[in-house]
């Protein structure tokens, strides 16, 4: 075997980190170089399981050398290798650890990015964990006053919720996006998020919640005077008229066509159920006729 054989490099590095009668201090500096060489060789040979372990060791080495940035980079490489072999729990663990290391460096953006990479990798295999990762990625940016950089993460999490048919959670996340937008004075994004939440509630055939959401949003001046408010008003009015064709027309408006693709798809399928019960006067019509002989 050549001197650059990755198995030999790992064996040599392991010896340098183990204490013995003749070695009283671990030589992490030289060991880490060997772990890095081995990890890259394994990755090049597409031996991802071994690459994963080597990158994890290289990350630990950089930590021992007080270099959290390089440790985080290696942990991300370990996560990418875990993804190649479908070890989804390790994908999450490694990206989370990478994020923690970036935070040690005081770098919120790469810390959030690491969590987002993990979330994207897990959307199909572990969607609930993907949502948790997206949520944490948003929190990292918000804690650093960088809400505007989290908008795409909110949208990504919303898309996963919709795929899982968790519409109430999707709407709630859109309202969180609206709040984040409000905090950084992004009024247009805020209004789009409000309209999107209303559409999600309507798609879930929860008109009462959609109307409540609309009324709450109208307390916000930016929404009250917006094109998104006018689009929502037309949509809800069509529901209260029990007019299916008008609902379909309202859902085709150019304002709705400028929302995120996943929301447009929901809007195009409205209404999703019978709308006659939402019609004005429908409740009155269903009341029992007055019995003039009944004085109670």
**Domains of the chain from N-terminus onward:** 1-140 (1.25.40.10), 146-274 (1.25.40.10)
Distance of CA 124 to the CA centre of its chain: 13
* Cα separations in angstroms, 121 against 79, 103, 133, 150, 235: 10, 21, 10, 18, 36
Buried (b) or exposed (e) across 30-42, using 16+ Cβ within 10 A? ebbebbbbbbbbb
Q: How many CB atoms lie under 10 A from the CB of residue 117? A: 20
HEC string for 168-199: HHHHHHHHHHHHHHHHCCCHHHHHHHHHHHHH
> pLDDT tens per residue, the chain (296 residues)?
345 899 999 999 999 999 876 777 899 999 999 999 999 999 999 999 999 999 999 999 999 999 999 999 999 999 999 999 999 999 999 999 999 999 999 999 999 999 999 999 999 999 999 999 999 999 999 999 999 999 999 999 999 999 999 999 999 999 999 999 999 999 999 999 999 999 999 999 999 999 999 999 999 999 999 999 999 999 999 999 999 999 999 999 999 999 999 999 999 999 999 998 888 765 444 445 555 555 44
């Amino acid at each position: 075997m050549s001197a650059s054989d990755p198995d030999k490099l790992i064996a040599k590095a392991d010896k340098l980190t183990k204490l013995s009668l003749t070695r009283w201090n671990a030589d992490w500096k030289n060991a880490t170089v060997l772990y890095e060489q081995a990890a890259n060789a394994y990755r090049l040979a597409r031996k991802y399981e071994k690459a994963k372990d080597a990158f994890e060791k290289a990350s630990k080495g950089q930590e021992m050398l007080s270099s959290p940035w390089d440790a985080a980079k290696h942990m991300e490489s370990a996560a990418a290798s875990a993804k190649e072999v479908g070890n989804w729990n390790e994908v999450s663990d490694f990206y989370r650890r990478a994020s923690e290391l970036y935070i040690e460096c005081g770098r919120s953006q790469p810390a959030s990015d690491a969590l987002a990479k993990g979330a994207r990798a897990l959307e199909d295999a572990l969607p609930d964990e993907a949502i948790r990762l997206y949520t944490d990625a948003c929190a990292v940016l918000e804690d650093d006053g960088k809400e505007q950089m989290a908008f795409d993460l909110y949208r990504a999490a919303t898309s996963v919720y919709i795929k899982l048919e968790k519409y109430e959670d999707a709407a709630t996340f859109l309202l969180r996006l609206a709040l984040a937008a409000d905090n950084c004075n992004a009024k247009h994004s805020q209004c789009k998020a409000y309209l999107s939440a209303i559409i999600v509630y309507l798609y879930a055939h929860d008109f009462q919640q959609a109307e409540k959401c609309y009324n709450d949003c109208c307390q916000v001046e930016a929404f009250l005077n917006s094109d998104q408010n006018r689009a929502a008003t037309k949509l809800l009015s069509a529901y209260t008229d029990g007019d299916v064709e008008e609902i379909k027309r309202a859902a085709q408006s150019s304002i709705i066509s400028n929302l995120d693709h996943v929301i447009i798809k929901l809007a195009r399928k409205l209404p999703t159920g019978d709308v006659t019960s939402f019609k004005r006067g429908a409740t009155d019509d269903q009341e029992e006729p007055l019995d003039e002989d009944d004085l109670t």
